[in-house]
Chain A
Amino acid sequence: MSLPLLAEASAAEPAFQSGFAYFRWLHELLPAPFFHTQAFLAFFAIVLFVYWSVPRRFQMTRVWILVIASFHFYAAWSYELAFLVTGTTLADYIFGRIMGHSERPRFRKLILFTSIGMNLGILCYFKYRGFFLNELFDGMRKLGMEPGYEKMNPLAIFIPFGISFYTFEAISYAVDVYKRKIPAEKSLPRFLLFILFFPHLVAGPIVRAGDLLRQTRRAKRWNWLRVQVGVQLFLIGAFKKMAIADRMALFCDPVFASPEQYNSVAVWFAVLAYAVRIYCDFSGYSDMAVGAAHLLGYKLINNFNMPYLAANVSDFWRRWHISLSNWLRDYIFIPLGGSRGSRWLNYRNLLITMTIGGLWHGAAWGYILWGLAHGLMLVAHKQFKDYCENKPRLTAFLETMFGTGLRICFTFFCVSMCWVLFQPELGKALAIFEKLFHIQRGQVLPLNNRSLWYTVIFLFACQWLVRSGAWAWIYRRLPAPVLGVGYAVCLCAALVLAPDNGTTFIYFQF
């Protein structure tokens, strides 16, 4: 049986897959942690069957089943890292219990910093070590000093998948327990499930302890409505990933890999395709994760809400990667002072928060600049908003349908431009900008761009249908068998439109 339907199993291959025969066997069965593979579907079907076969009164057994399944899901890819994540989760659990029991503020603070330090330390070791050492290397060379070590290849540095996501989850738990927003979790399996729950382990959504731990205590009951929602979300996610994101990769990947070879028109098309791709790739993954969780009786936060229909950058960040935006707001922006204080203090907080958000995505200048650019756009938006307060006619115009359309287009343009920076190699991003704004000759796109336009139109038409409420109206009136046919057609369309170059999820590397 061919395990991957599309995804390149080697794309996420750890460099040190060896050791116990059991884990090697597991790796052969589930070579890549991608939801849109036959292997994952087989794994998920087994988990579903075992999970729902356990009677409802054995709730803790069900929790253990999910913990074991989640551990195996990660261990199939790299058992060393599965043990590492489980170990740090155990440590976080103990830290939480100690904080929960202690009444001494300084001791609690010490435990909090220990927990945060441990999590950030591991994150930095895997994700930022190469970046900082390379920057240090370059800096020392510029100063005429000999660094005494070899420069690392940034693309060859191995990063455990999902590390940024579960690090943030663990930190939020520690902070919430420290602030006594939530009690320290007493049940180890429930806490393990909060961090390791496989639908959100790899690329979020970043769940909050208060939300998921509460759900682990509820007895789950098979509910066809929930199953339908889960199936629907999973299928929509699979369609977005396979039929749209991977298809858009055909347009943008060759251009982003060597922008100097292509003409300016091709580069503009590639930037548009990349904007569509990154949205469908990540939101597709999130939809599949939320859908899979629903099938197990859990509800994860909805991570996207039609972000490309946002009318301004602030609105965009309320719709894009919502779980991360909320996290950054609650654990960085507000502790820094938030919107309180002077205007400049507020701007400073925004820029710091967004730059950290950029750095969270990847250890490269491109990501940092991407975060900074979004911070600057948020500042500019606030300035513009203040400016508009005294201009009622301008405000009224911007509120009209035409004005709103204009704002949506402008926001989409700005966000798309920022996506150019969203890559590990800054040099390539600069080459793309040069091609965009300085008309140059070169190769045309390798594929007829008709399918690019059809995809863009289809995507925006779907979002408009949902936003206008027309979809809700239609959906309510559709007979169940017709919906069933729709789901089957959606899956078939995803399978037919999937290109040959099935790729990993972009956000897995974060």
Chain B
Amino acid sequence: MTTRTLPTRPARWVRRLRLRLQVVVVPETAPTATRGAARRAAAVAVGSSVLVFVAIQAALSGTSAVTHLVADPVYGDKEKRLRRLERAAPPGTPRVILLGTSRTGYGFAAGRVQTAATGVGTPAVVFNFGIPGAGPITHLIYLRRLLADGHRPDLLVIEVLPPLLADLPDGPLEARMLKGDLLTRDEIEMVGRYAMPVKRLRQQQREAARTPVHEHRFKLLGRIFPSALPWQLRYDAGRTPDPNGWGASDVSEVPDDHRQRGVAGTAAEYRDVFQHDLPAGPAVAALRDTLELCRAEGIPVAIVVFPEATTFRALYPPRVEPKLARFLADLSTEFGCPATDARTWIADDLFLDSHHLLRTGAAAFTDRFAGEVIVPFLHERSSQGAR
């Protein structure tokens, strides 16, 4: 019996394809056995690609479950900074944390207060936890996270941004900004109590768990290659501030046309919101729950409404002003926390637009607020400790 010799060259389509692709799939003179090996190698290449891809997804998904740095890097980075600051301070140093929006992020020079407090003999860790787009519901989430991560403030200052307390037909204003991939499953269930779009948030969270490489891409890319993204998508608000969390504005002066654009943009963003009832609705409930949580945990709280320029204050309908004042007074009485309405504190030319402070404006506001609220608190605490 004779053995039939099989052709030693690869199939015609393989050779043609190889020429087309200009890649060598099988060596020119490959014997049959080598062809079999090439097929096995191809199977290994395809199989290993699937395995590696799944492994990368699983690793990222697992990492995002362990640390906030992947899924919510803005919180994760700020928390890292706060931890670093706390470690650097002597044990027992009181901690003052400001929870707020971008207004807080731009407008409160926490390091300045920390230095001043140390100067007057009441050293403290003062940290600005202002995060763009964060409202009462996000503040409640962040407070729970901070407590879970071991950051128990001795004074918690909570910023109230009045438009975020509007009772809108489609849920709180925050719902338009908050994304499910930033939250854990439990947090999504929790925010459901405040008329947040839980279905959408759950869907976003599921997608992030399934294809984290894609869903967290801006967070990853913002870390590795930030210039490839527009600034709004970089998730770097937790990385760019100073060690005390203050993200001061880059400019010290704003040309008139830039400011006009900023004012117009802000007005467009908030004008419709002011037409609805405020303060009312689920956002107010979230703020109350945050204050309840602080009371339950024994954390002293102060409430502050940040400075606003005349053009921004002009957006408030007349009926809102007294209601807001009454609301702050009621909160202050009910929860025993000082409420500061600082809307008129700063002159219009110290704003970036009409409600974000420039560096100089932030310094002016910080000094006054620290003098009226933080330093007296620290003094009182210090004297109580001495007694």
A469 to B26, CA, bound (A): 16
Q: Which of B38, B51, B52 has the most CB atoms of chain A within a 10 A radius of its CB? A: B52
18 contacts between A and B (CB under 8 A): A5-B214, A38-B211, A224-B40, A225-B42, A227-B43, A229-B17, A233-B21, A448-B227, A476-B24, A481-B45, A483-B49, A484-B45, A484-B51, A487-B45, A488-B53, A491-B53, A498-B217, A500-B218
- Indicate if the CB atoms of B227 and A485 lie closer than 8 Å: no
Q: Contacting A481 at CB < 8 Å: which of B13, B48, B217?
A: B48
Q: For the complex, what is the distance from the CA of A448 to the CA of B45, rounded to whole Å?
A: 37
Contact present for B217 and A229 (CB under 8 Å)? no
- A223 near B: Cβ within 8 Å? yes
B224, closest chain A residue (CB): A496
B44 close to A (CB within 8 Å)? yes
Within 8 A of B (CB), among A483-510: 483-489, 491-492, 495-500
Question: Apart from A228-B25, A447-B229, A484-B47, what 13 extra A-B contacts exist at CB < 8 Å?
Answer: A2-B207, A5-B214, A223-B39, A250-B230, A302-B21, A447-B230, A448-B227, A450-B227, A480-B40, A481-B45, A487-B53, A492-B53, A500-B233
Task: Provide the B19-31 mask, 1 if CB < 8 A to any CB of A, else 0.
Answer: 0111111110000
Partner of B44, one of A467, A481, A499: A481
A451 at the interface (CB under 8 A from B): yes
- The distance in angstroms between the C-alpha atoms of A5 and B42, with both chains bound, is 28
Q: Tell whether, in the assembled complex, residue B46 and residue A231 are in contact, meaning their CB atoms are under 8 Å apart.
A: yes
Our pick among A228, A233, A446, A495 for the contact of B230 (Cβ within 8 Å) is: A446
B373 interface residue (CB < 8 Å to A): no
A219 to chain B, nearest CB (A): 14
How extensive is the interface on chain B, given as a class?
35 or more
B20 neighbours in A (Cβ, 8 Å): 302
Q: Which residues of A contact B41 (CB under 8 A)?
A: 479-480
Encode contact with B along A462-484: 1 for CB under 8 Å, 0 otherwise: 00001101011001100111011
- Interchain CB contact under 8 A, B22 and A472: yes
Contacts across chains A and B counted by CB atoms under 8 Å:
122
Query: How many angstroms from the CA of A496 to the CA of B23 in the assembled complex?
Result: 26
- A423 to B105, alpha carbons, bound, how many Å? 44
A415 to chain B, nearest CB (A): 22
Residues of A bordering B, CB below 8 Å: 1-2, 5, 38, 223-225, 227-229, 231, 233, 247, 250, 299, 302, 446-448, 450-451, 466-467, 469, 471-472, 475-476, 479-481, 483-489, 491-492, 495-500
Give the top 4 A-B pairs by smallest Cβ distance, nearest first: A484-B48, A487-B49, A488-B52, A228-B42
The reply to whether A466 and B22 contact each other, CB–CB distance below 8 Å, is yes
Verify B46–A228 contact, CB threshold 8 A: yes
Q: Taking beta carbons and an 8 Å cutoff, which residues of B are in contact with A?
A: 13-14, 17, 20-27, 38-53, 56, 203, 207, 211, 213-214, 217-218, 220-221, 225, 227-230, 233
User: Which of B45, B203, B218, B233 neighbours the largest number of chain A CB atoms within 10 Å of its CB?
Assistant: B45
Q: A299-B13, A472-B22 are in contact. Are A228 and B217 (CB under 8 A)?
A: no
Main secondary structure, interface of B, reads: helix
**Cβ-defined partner of B48 (8 Å) among A224, A233, A480:** A480
B22: chain A residues within 8 A (beta carbon)? 466-467, 469, 471-472
> What's the nearest-Cβ distance from chain A to residue B265, in Å?
15
The contact of B42 among A448, A480, A498, by CB within 8 Å, is A480
Cα A223 to Cα B25 with chains together (Å): 13
Q: Are A451 and B203 in contact (CB under 8 A)?
A: no
Q: How far is the CB of B233 from chain A (nearest CB, A)?
A: 7
Q: Bound state CA distance, A488 and B214, in angstroms? A: 13
B23→A471 contact, CB < 8 A: yes
Alpha-carbon distance between A501 and B49 when the two chains are bound, in angstroms? 27
Is there an interface contact between B25 and A472, defined as CB atoms closer than 8 Å? no
CA distance A38 to B233 in the complex (A): 23
Asked whether B49 lies within 8 Å of A229 as measured between CB atoms, the reply is no
Q: How far is the CA of A247 from the CA of B46 in the complex (A)?
A: 27
Task: Report the minimal beta-carbon distance from A228 to chain B, rounded to whole angstroms.
Answer: 4
| Minimal Cβ-Cβ distance residue in B for A476 | B24
Instruction: List, in ascending order, chain B residues with CB within 8 A of A491's CB.
Output: 49, 53
How far apart are the CA atoms of A484 and B40 in the complex, in Å? 13
**Residue of A1, A38, A229, A446 ringed by the most chain B CB atoms within 10 A:** A229
Min distance, Cβ B232 to any Cβ of chain A, angstroms: 10
- Asked whether B56 lies within 8 Å of A492 as measured between CB atoms, the reply is yes
Q: What chain A residues lie within 8 Å of B48 (beta carbons)?
A: 480-481, 483-485, 488
CA of A1 to CA of B41 in the docked complex: distance in angstroms? 34
Find chain A residues with CB under 8 A from B27 CB: 476
Distance between A215 CB and nearest chain B CB, rounded to angstroms: 10
Residue numbers in B under 8 Å from A229 (CB-CB): 17, 21, 25
| Choice from A2, A475, A489, A495 contacting B23 with Cβ under 8 Å | A475
Residues from chain A with a CB closer than 8 A to the CB of B214 are 5, 495-496, 498
Report yes or no: B211 in contact with A299, Cβ–Cβ below 8 A. Answer: no
B165 nearest CB across to chain A (Å): 30
Q: Is the CB of A497 within 8 A of B217?
A: yes
Chain B contacts for A231, CB-based, 8 A: 46, 49
- B156 → A minimal CB distance (Å): 35
Residues of B within 8 A of A467 (CB): 22
Residues of chain B contacted by A450 (CB below 8 angstroms) = 227-228
Task: Give every chain B residue within 8 A of A2 (Cβ-Cβ).
Answer: 203, 207
Report B-chain residues with C-beta under 8 Å of the C-beta of A228. Answer: 25, 42-43, 45-46
Residues on A with beta carbons closer than 8 Å to the beta carbon of B50: 484, 488
